[in-house]
């Protein structure tokens, strides 16, 4: 078993930190150029470009880009009953948690006669990207579609890469039916993002694009962020486990392997402050890798971004976790609730030994679309708020306007905007103006 880094937190070189902590694409300039070209191709050629990309990148000839709803229904009915039942259970939990996040309208009187408010309205149309390729991700369909539906979005369009049949896997089709999507397209990668943003003859334009994806999808979302709303840069999966002296090493190893099996670009790490615990985690990890059904993917991820780190103390381990800013942070520590209080940079945090990331990936109801590559310092997990737009309203009584008139005029004069000043001072004596007009 080969890891990108094994050693102390203090002993990491700048190169080690760039590889383990920074977690950026190997050649971001090249990736950016390539994605720019794909986006432009879709803008210029529309469906023709999308078919070419499916042929060259996915190895399929697409007769139709859209998957009809009848196929979703068939897939849902053909799904094994236990799997269908648990997908429906997951959807209920997601809806319950996300409905609880819906914001109340705000109304405030900042001064007598000056009333302000804020209201939310759903974004009209959103695109939900569900990854594909190495695995089927019906869970990502639920995580994107169900919160959008809870927010009241009318048009929810899913894009997911086609398999050999020319359609996404049956589980993805079934999830679209369960979640309540409105349309589904067999499209993946940067081309899918471009189609959703700019539209083609087949794919309608949307007002927001959300969902996880590989580095191509993440870069495409970054490039179109100025055109429409995106959620967060949710790239390859990652986890950091903070393991206390009493942590169960096989359980730590299972958490690392579970996220490493997603993708060769996944980033997985564990940090502890006890030599013996770290040795036992290393042994357990090597054993789990040997048994992993997706062993080749796991080994590649560990070699690229895997790390086992020894901290000098609990405080240094927790400090490193804030610097790492993981998508998933797991606190297998003696006092996880206490340790939660100092954490400010993770996408989502799991507290204590029973709390596996796998539960959050599928079933708890919290969203698994999370910022990666350290971007959780700035971005949040996907939530119902990503599907809402907020606007404010302002209402002034005649007396309230009169009280603000001179102060507003003075500030407008100071900025050299006499028209603003006149508009404000026009409201200075409302009663006199009303009598004069009669």
pLDDT given for residue 110 in this prediction: 98
The mean pLDDT value for 233-237 works out to 82
DSSP 272: E
Helices H / strands E in the chain, number of each: 18, 14
10 Å CB burial of residue 256 (0-12, 13-18, 19+) is buried
Same domain, 211 and 261: no
- The answer to whether position 35 is within a domain reads no
10 Å CB burial of residue 81 (0-12, 13-18, 19+) is exposed
pLDDT given for residue 175 in this prediction: 98
DSSP per-residue string spanning 109-164: EEETTEEEEEEEEE-SEEEEE---SSS--HHHHHHHHHHHHHHT-SEEEEEE---T
Q: What band does 436 get if pLDDT is binned at 50, 70 and 90? A: very low
- The answer to whether position 31 is within a domain reads no
- pLDDT tens-place string over residues 403-435: 999 999 999 999 999 999 999 999 987 555 544
pLDDT given for residue 233 in this prediction: 80
Counting residues of the chain whose pLDDT is more than 70, the rounded percentage is 97
Structural domain range at position 296: 5-26+235-377
Same domain, 64 and 151: yes
- The answer to whether position 41 is within a domain reads no
Token representation of residue 261: 């099996």
The mean pLDDT value for 315-322 works out to 96
User: How far is the C-alpha of 146 from the C-alpha of 206, rounded, in Å?
Assistant: 17
Same domain, 218 and 244: no
Domain boundary residue, one of 200, 232, 264? 232
Q: What band does 95 get if pLDDT is binned at 50, 70 and 90? A: very high
Q: Is the pLDDT of residue 19 over 90?
A: no
The mean pLDDT value for 15-19 works out to 88
For residues 318, 319, 323 and 325, what is the CA-based torsion angle, rounded to 10 degrees? 20
- pLDDT tens-place string over residues 337-383: 999 998 999 999 999 999 999 999 999 999 999 999 899 999 999 99
Same domain, 61 and 110: yes
Same domain, 206 and 62: yes
DSSP 13: -
Domain boundary residue, one of 168, 199, 232? 232
User: How far is the C-alpha of 260 from the C-alpha of 311, rounded, in Å?
Assistant: 22
User: How far is the C-alpha of 412 from the C-alpha of 330, rounded, in Å?
Assistant: 53
More confident residue, 437 or 144: 144
Same domain, 250 and 328: yes
pLDDT given for residue 362 in this prediction: 96
For residues 172, 175, 181 and 184, what is the CA-based torsion angle, rounded to 10 degrees? 20
- The answer to whether position 34 is within a domain reads no
328 is catalytic: yes
The long-range contacts involving 217-223, CB below 8 angstroms and separated by at least 24 positions, are 217/129, 217/131, 217/189, 217/190, 217/192, 217/193, 218/372, 219/25, 219/31, 219/32, 219/35, 219/190, 220/35, 220/38, 220/39, 220/189, 220/190, 220/193, 220/194, 221/193, 223/32, 223/35, 223/36, 223/39
* CATH of residue 155: 3.40.50.1980
Phi-psi region of 237 (alpha: psi -120 to 50; beta: other; left: phi over 0): beta
* pTM strictly above 0.85: yes
Query: How many independent structural domains does the chain possess?
Result: 3
Same domain, 330 and 190: no
Average pLDDT across the chain, whole number: 94
pLDDT given for residue 354 in this prediction: 96
10 Å CB burial of residue 381 (0-12, 13-18, 19+) is buried
Q: What band does 437 get if pLDDT is binned at 50, 70 and 90? A: very low
Domain boundary residue, one of 176, 204, 232? 232
- Identified catalytic residue from 255, 299, 327, 368: 327
Token representation of residue 77: 């009915």
Same domain, 352 and 427: no
- The answer to whether position 136 is within a domain reads yes
The mean pLDDT value for 20-49 works out to 90
What's the length of the chain?
438
Q: How many CB atoms lie within 10 A of CB 228?
A: 20
Same domain, 65 and 188: yes
- Identified catalytic residue from 238, 262, 288, 328: 328
- The answer to whether position 385 is within a domain reads no
User: How far is the C-alpha of 158 from the C-alpha of 128, rounded, in Å?
Assistant: 5
Q: What band does 22 get if pLDDT is binned at 50, 70 and 90? A: confident
Same domain, 365 and 412: no
- The answer to whether position 40 is within a domain reads no
CA distances from 219 to 39, 90, 192, 355, 416 (A): 11, 29, 12, 31, 43
- The answer to whether position 32 is within a domain reads no
Q: What band does 438 get if pLDDT is binned at 50, 70 and 90? A: very low
Question: Do 291 and 250 contact (CB within 8 A), yes or no?
Answer: no
Same domain, 243 and 214: no
The long-range contacts involving 281-285, CB below 8 angstroms and separated by at least 24 positions, are 281/243, 281/247, 281/249, 281/252, 281/253, 281/308, 282/6, 282/308, 283/249, 284/249, 284/250, 284/252, 284/253, 285/1, 285/252, 285/253, 285/256, 285/257
CA distances from 121 to 12, 126, 182, 279, 436 (A): 48, 13, 19, 53, 42
Residues with Cβ within 8 Å of 313's Cβ and at least 6 positions away in sequence, in order, are 273
Q: Is the pLDDT of residue 392 over 50?
A: yes
pLDDT given for residue 91 in this prediction: 98
Residue 351's beta-bridge partner residues?
331
Counting residues of the chain whose pLDDT is more than 90, the rounded percentage is 87
Same domain, 205 and 107: yes
């Amino acid at each position: 078993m080969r890891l990108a880094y094994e050693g102390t937190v203090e002993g990491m070189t700048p190169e080690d930190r760039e590889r383990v902590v920074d977690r950026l694409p190997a050649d971001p300039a090249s990736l950016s150029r390539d994605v720019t070209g794909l986006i432009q191709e879709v803008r210029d050629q529309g469906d023709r470009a999308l078919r070419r990309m499916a042929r060259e990148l996915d190895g399929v000839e697409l007769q139709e880009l859209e998957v009809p709803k009848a196929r979703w229904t068939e897939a849902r009915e053909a799904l094994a009953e236990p799997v269908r039942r648990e997908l429906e259970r997951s959807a209920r939990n997601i809806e319950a948690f996300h409905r609880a996040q819906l914001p109340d309208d705000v109304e405030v009187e900042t001064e007598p006669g000056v009333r302000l408010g804020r209201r939310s309205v759903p974004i009209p149309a959103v695109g939900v990207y569900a990854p594909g390729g190495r695995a089927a991700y019906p869970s990502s369909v639920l995580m994107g579609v169900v919160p959008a539906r809870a927010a009241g979005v009318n048009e929810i369009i899913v894009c997911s890469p086609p398999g050999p049949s020319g359609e996404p896997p049956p589980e993805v089709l079934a999830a679209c039916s369960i979640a309540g999507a409105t349309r589904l397209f067999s499209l993946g990668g940067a081309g899918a993002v471009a189609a959703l943003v700019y539209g083609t003859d087949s794919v309608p334009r949307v007002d927001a694009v959300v969902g996880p994806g590989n580095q191509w999808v993440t870069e495409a979302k970054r490039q179109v962020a100025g055109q429409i709303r995106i959620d967060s840069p949710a790239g390859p999966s990652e986890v950091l486990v903070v393991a206390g002296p009493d942590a169960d090493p096989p359980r730590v190893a299972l958490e690392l392997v579970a996220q490493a099996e997603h993708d060769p670009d996944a980033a997985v790490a564990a940090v502890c402050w006890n030599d013996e615990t770290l040795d036992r985690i290393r042994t357990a990890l090597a054993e789990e890798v040997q048994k992993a059904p997706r062993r080749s993917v796991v080994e590649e991820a560990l070699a690229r971004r895997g790390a086992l780190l020894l901290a000098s103390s609990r405080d240094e381990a927790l400090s490193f976790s804030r610097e790492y800013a993981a998508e998933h942070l797991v606190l297998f520590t003696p006092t996880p609730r206490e340790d939660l209080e100092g954490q400010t940079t993770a996408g989502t945090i799991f507290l204590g030994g029973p709390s596996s990331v796998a539960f959050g990936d599928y079933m708890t109801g919290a969203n698994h679309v999370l910022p990666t590559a350290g971007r959780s310092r700035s971005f949040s997990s996907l939530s119902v708020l990503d599907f809402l737009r907020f606007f404010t309203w302002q209402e002034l009584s005649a007396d309230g306007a009169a009280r603000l008139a001179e102060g507003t005029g003075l500030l407008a004069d100071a900025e050299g905007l006499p028209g603003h000043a006149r508009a404000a001072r026009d409201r200075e004596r409302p009663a006199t103006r009303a009598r004069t007009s009669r």
